[in-house]
Amino acid sequence: MNAPLLIAQPTLAHARVPDSPQLAHWGEDIKRILCVRLDNLGDVLMTTPALHALRESAPGRHITLLASRSGVALAPFLDDVDDVIEYEAPWVANPPTSARSLTDDQRMQERLRRGGFDAAVIFTVYSQSPLPAAMLCHLAGIPRRLAHCRENPYALLTEWLREPEPQQRTRHEVERQLDLVRQVGAEAPDTRMRFTVQESDRRTLLEQFAARGVHSGANADAPWIVLHPGATAASRRYPPERFGQVATRLASETGAPLLITGSASERPLVDAVIAAAAPRVRAQLHDLSGALTLGELAALIERASVLVSNNSGPVHLASALGTPVVDLYALTNPQHTPWQTPNRVLFRDVECRWCYRSVCPQHHHACLLGVTPGEVVTAALELRAEAQSRAASVGRGSCRSTDIQSNAHHSDAAPPLADEPVAP
């Protein structure tokens, strides 16, 4: 007779492997390090403090970033990255137009072998396995290989940390990667996210403004507000109709121009935001969808008085640049809140929090729909006023960090409940 065992269900979704042994610090003999981060732009940005720590922890370090196309686009703006290699890895979602083949993987293995790397660090989110990348680095002859790993990697990783997320705990993505490199002795006192805006991008942005008739408005020191209504996942998008209501009130109450950003494919979304705004303010709204390079987008966010955005790449750019941000934060995961910048993280708590889904599995989208346009406007005006107050007292740019909280929640770390283990 076969029957289920009458015992309590396990509290963990995966078998627990032993804690990793204490790792040896990487010394001055570890010069050339391959840093593997194959997902999105925001993920690479949240890894920049760890890249900085690797570079600063020993003299003469050379950092090569192995990244997707969107990650490679960041490389010119990352002072800690010496070289970059683009790779459409077969274990990562690639564009539908991708024509990659097995030959591409064989060529990449050989290219990495020729790179003469002393070590590789494989950066992943908790749900990604490091083992495919570890195998690539192993076959390329890279002698030291470090990553978080859920199962025993045996010889594929020479140094590894047991994966604790999400069952035991969760961390901000920046903290996760800093914890990883700290195990091999890589630490730096400066843990900011990093992005260097180039003067040429500031100049071409202002040229675009002049051509479009964009003026600074009444406050020349904090001249414009940026709205970013897009996100790659539908579950992380605040409705464009509500963005339109937010735009109406911010334009009316500040008199400032509102710059609405997005990719060329998001132009219909930006059109919907402008159409939802009151006709009387539309002259203050400017559609920049598909109009900016990455460098120009950063230059735009750098000088914005506040960014209002879904939780997507521009939020992480704002964190790297110290720009105040209102983050409309769908509770898909707790690890990607703003980092070390003035912020308000707005959401409504729901039982289905931390679903890790691209489309709302409950079809109610309550974690975002529970946030009213009025709350968004209030948060943006508060941040704008705080920035103006700091500028008046100590000069613009010398202090842009804050640690205020309320519900709808805002903070400079992960939202409340982030430390509660909830299996997806």
Mean pLDDT of 101-116: 95
239 and 368 both lie in a single domain = yes
223 falls within a domain: yes
Q: Is the predicted pLDDT of residue 142 greater than 50, yes or no?
A: yes
Specify the amino acid at residue 279: P
Mean pLDDT of 235-239: 82
75 has a pLDDT exceeding 50: yes
**pLDDT of 404 above 80:** no
Same domain, 173 and 208: no
Using the 3D structure, point to which of 182, 211, 233 is the last residue of a domain.
182
- Convert the pLDDT of each residue in 340-384 to its tens digit: 999 999 988 877 776 667 677 767 778 888 899 999 999 999 999
Domain assignment present for 412: no
Global pTM? 0.86
Average pLDDT, whole number, for the chain? Answer: 85
Structural domain contains residue 192:
no
* Residue 396 binned pLDDT confidence (cut-offs 50, 70, 90): very low
Higher pLDDT, 216 or 403: 216
Task: Identify the band that residue 9 occupies on the pLDDT scale cut at 50, 70 and 90.
Answer: very low
Residue 53 domain flag? yes
The answer to whether residue 76 sits within a structural domain is yes
- Average pLDDT, integer, range 94-103: 77
| Predicted pLDDT of residue 1 | 42
CATH of the domain at 95: 3.40.50.2000
Determine the pLDDT at residue 16: 55
Output DSSP code: residue 290.
T
Per-residue pLDDT at 17: 54
Full residue range of the structural domain in which residue 92 is found: 32-182
- Alpha-carbon distance of 3 to 128, in angstroms, equals 35
Contact 224, 256 (CB under 8 A): yes
Q: What is the pLDDT of residues 19-74, one digit of tens each?
A: 556 788 999 999 999 999 999 999 999 999 999 999 999 999 999 999 999 999 99
Higher pLDDT, 365 or 103: 103
Q: Is the confidence at residue 192, as pLDDT, over 90?
A: yes
Question: Is 78 a domain residue?
Answer: yes
Residue 344, phi then psi, degrees to nearest 5:
-130, 120
Domain match, 350 and 378 both:
yes
Structural domains in the chain (count): 2
Mean pLDDT calculated for residue range 200-205: 96
- How far is 72 from 294, CA to CA, in rounded Å? 11
